[in-house]
Structure 1
Amino acid sequence: MMKSLGSIRRSFAPWADPASKPFISVKNVTKKFGDFTAVDDLSLNIYTREFFALLGASGCGKSTLLRMLAGFEQPTSGEIILDGQSLAGIPPYRRPVNMMFQSYALFPHMTVENNVAFGLKQDGMPKADIAERVAQMLKLVKLEKFAKRKPHQLSGGQRQRVALARSLAKRPKVLLLDEPLGALDKKLREETQFELMDLQQELGLTFVVVTHDQEEAMTMADRIAVMSHGKVVQVATPAEIYEAPNSRFVADFIGDVNIFDGKVTSAEDGYIRVETTGGIPVRMASPEKPGNGAKAAVAIRPEKIRIGRQPPAHAPVNAAEGEIWDIGYLGDMTVFHIRLKDGKVVKASSLNAVRAVEDPLGYDQQVWISFGDDAGVVLKD
């Protein structure tokens, strides 16, 4: 019986152990296409059995990096080491990796079992061993009953599983996934995310996934590398990326955020005070001690902001008065856009914990927003 995924993932953190050796090391890798630099002097480490996500907008270099790991592109400079061996000059078919493409790239004229068996036949595996391995893979992805069907007779989710089974059939040390769930509808995509996590745990493989979907990366990955313009901006666990972004870019890219810009008026006892451009005094916990007058930005997630009809006891610090401008009902939560007196629009979200609210907040109502002094993070840039 497979162990609980939660208990394993909670304790999994080889990157925090100085004695751990990276399974994949990308060392100062640059990739240029003519005058365009797709990957710019990038370095990162990935560990054995890690589910690692490369996250970023289109054109940030994440797919190029994945293709270099697969061997479809060669670095202009730098080195990639896998399990202690440099990958320089090693063709794709000799690398202990396999890649699952966004398009799935299934052979339309072949049955499901023949699609899964294709790579094994190319390697010259005996027929009996191929049949056994294909049966194992189809059982793993729950497609035993569909072995004789062809791709056009399958749903999008089933085709995705065939592609996954084919990628895993050769038992690679690393599975590379390029936007693997992009073709699926939202509900199926969410279900498949957890199936991929379970499969990765059961097989004990290292997964490297490329995605532009923040929620997908946050759900599946042990760690995330946020990329921008060919560089890694931050590498951390999903919780660290979300709660402690290291820059304005990461804070703004991951989820929704409110950013209050201003100048530091004091810094002492682990807290700083910032007078924002809108005149709202903010007091926030911070290990940094910038000098008075230094520029500062405080990032606060919408769920950390409280809404009330009356000013909080600690007003005016970490509080402001405004008007409800827009309301978005999402079922599990309601999102409010509150326009402050200086014109700034702040987003706040409220969990719909009960089925009905006696006196719900409505459009154009005057309200107060407030937040605790540990609700946000002071950004360095």
Structure 2
Amino acid sequence: MASLGSIRRDFAPWTNPEAKPLIRFENVTKHFGSHTAVDNLSLSIYEREFFVLLGPSGCGKTTLLRMLGGFEQPTSGRVLLDGQDLSGVPPYRRPVNMMFQSYALFPHMTVEKNIAFGLKQEGMPKDKIAERVASMLKLVKLEKYAARKPHQLSGGQRQRVALARALAKRPRVLLLDEPLGALDKKLREETQFELMDLQQELGLTFVIVTHDQDEAMTMADRIAVMDAGKVLQVATPAEIYEAPNSRFVAEFIGSINIFDGEIVEKKGGTARFRDKSGSEFLVSLGANPQVNGSGSLAVRPEKMTITRQRPADAVNAIEGEVWDIAYLGDLTLYNLKLDDGRIIKISMMNSRRTVEDVLTWYDRAWVSFAPDAGVILTR
């Protein structure tokens, strides 16, 4: 069976029916007055997993994280850690530490003292504190900055101090709420890989909240896509992207073209799909041979090809007018306006420095795609 994209590492305890999750949310609901932030949600997270909660603002992902950290209590349902019900267990008694979006560093303390703060609160001996702080500074590559105060550091350095402080107590689970939100684009990209390497090196379980799709796709072993207090899909980044289980997930992750219509014929592992404009497409059913009736055909822009003439071997092709073009260096993005007014997005890799017969604005062109390029969604 063909694989849906590459995997980040050879680690998939969720595929083993005998594996026990480290963290378990069981039918958890959280109300704030009349607002339901988390709605009867169940979810399992495994030891050493880099797990990402992804969704739009207000979907409940931070509330879920705070309930795991002990900063909020469920209205109903249970949060379990290694089989233990965490109800009534205060944050400081949980083997969990949380790194906040603001970093929450003490401005009057040095880097060294910020990292040592939680250890002093626990009453750890001074020599052990010094040893642990030194190892944390080395881990986050801040040995030279131990005597500096937060205002003397860059955003990326402050982020590392907050991370070192959170890791100093050696929690079993590290919770991170939008940890890279304050960093610029280049530093965010660098820090994503640093966090992944750090998590692998320490062998901890990371649960991270973000609304940034690229961040989630880069770092996660698995992603839970959330909306309106519910988990819509839990899967690896490749599965979320290539095989979304709903229109919301398809549209939330990356760019997508949606054709609404219905299946008019099925034969073997393929179906003939007719969209509302009357265009027909041959579609591979893949892992969903039982799909029937009305639905939506979802096709990613990079799975499509744009050409001036209809390709002779094209199974699925539709004609329109080049409406917009964006040259991004490695890619060129095209918006093709169909005769019924719909816009189709196509992404083409610029594999050569020069191209003959370049398409430009208002040219007539054809977009084509293979039968296995798209997925049919029924919800």
Q: TM-score, normalised by structure 2?
A: 0.96
Corresponding residue for residue 230 of structure 1: 229
C-alpha separation in 1, matches of 2:289 and 2:310: 30
C-alpha separation in 2, matches of 1:106 and 1:290: 52
Structure 2 counterparts to residues 224-263 of structure 1, below 5 A: 224-263=223-262
Corresponding residue for residue 25 of structure 1: 24
Corresponding residue for residue 319 of structure 1: 317
C-alpha separation in 2, matches of 1:60 and 1:9: 26
Q: Is the CA contact (8 Å cut-off) linking 1:26 and 1:44 kept in structure 2?
A: yes
Deviation at 1:19, TM superposition (A): 1.4
Change (3 A) 1:314 1:281: farther
Query: For residue 334 of structure 1, what is the amino acid of its counterpart?
Result: T
> Pick from 354, 357, 360: which aligns with 1:362?
360
Q: Is the CA contact (8 Å cut-off) linking 2:304 and 2:346 kept in structure 1?
A: yes
Q: Is the CA contact (8 Å cut-off) linking 1:274 and 1:296 kept in structure 2?
A: no
Matched residue of 1:297: which SS? strand
Matched residue of 1:338: which SS? strand
C-alpha separation in 2, matches of 1:277 and 1:313: 25
C-alpha separation in 1, matches of 2:349 and 2:313: 23
Count of equivalent residues: 372
Identity rate of aligned residues, in percent?
70
Q: Deviations over 1:26-57 (max 9, x none)?
A: 10000001111000000000000000000000
Matched residue of 1:38: which SS? strand
> Pick from 367, 372, 375: which aligns with 1:374?
372
Structure 2 counterparts to residues 50-199 of structure 1, below 5 A: 50-199=49-198
Q: Which runs of 5+ in 2 are unaligned?
A: 1-5
Query: For residue 366 of structure 2, what is the amino acid of its counterpart?
Result: W
Q: Deviations over 1:322-348 (max 9, x none)?
A: 111001111211110000111110000
Q: Is the CA contact (8 Å cut-off) linking 1:280 and 1:319 kept in structure 2?
A: no
Query: For residue 180 of structure 2, what is the amino acid of its counterpart?
Result: L
Deviation at 1:352, TM superposition (A): 1.3
Q: Is the CA contact (8 Å cut-off) linking 2:7 and 2:238 kept in structure 1?
A: no
Deviation at 1:289, TM superposition (A): 4.0
Q: Is the CA contact (8 Å cut-off) linking 1:268 and 1:289 kept in structure 2?
A: no
Deviation at 1:357, TM superposition (A): 2.3
Q: Deviations over 1:109-151 (max 9, x none)?
A: 0000000000000000001100110000010000000000000
Q: Deviations over 1:89-116 (max 9, x none)?
A: 1000000000000100000000000000
Aligned Cα root-mean-square deviation (Å): 1.3
Deviation at 1:290, TM superposition (A): 4.7
Q: TM-score, normalised by structure 1?
A: 0.96
Query: For residue 288 of structure 1, what is the amino acid of its counterpart?
Result: P
Asked if residue 351 in structure 1 is aligned to residue 352 in structure 2, the reply is: no
Matched residue of 1:217: which SS? helix
Corresponding residue for residue 3 of structure 1: none
C-alpha separation in 2, matches of 1:167 and 1:131: 16
Deviation at 1:11, TM superposition (A): 1.4
Corresponding residue for residue 303 of structure 1: 302
Matched residue of 1:108: which SS? coil
Deviation at 1:313, TM superposition (A): 2.2
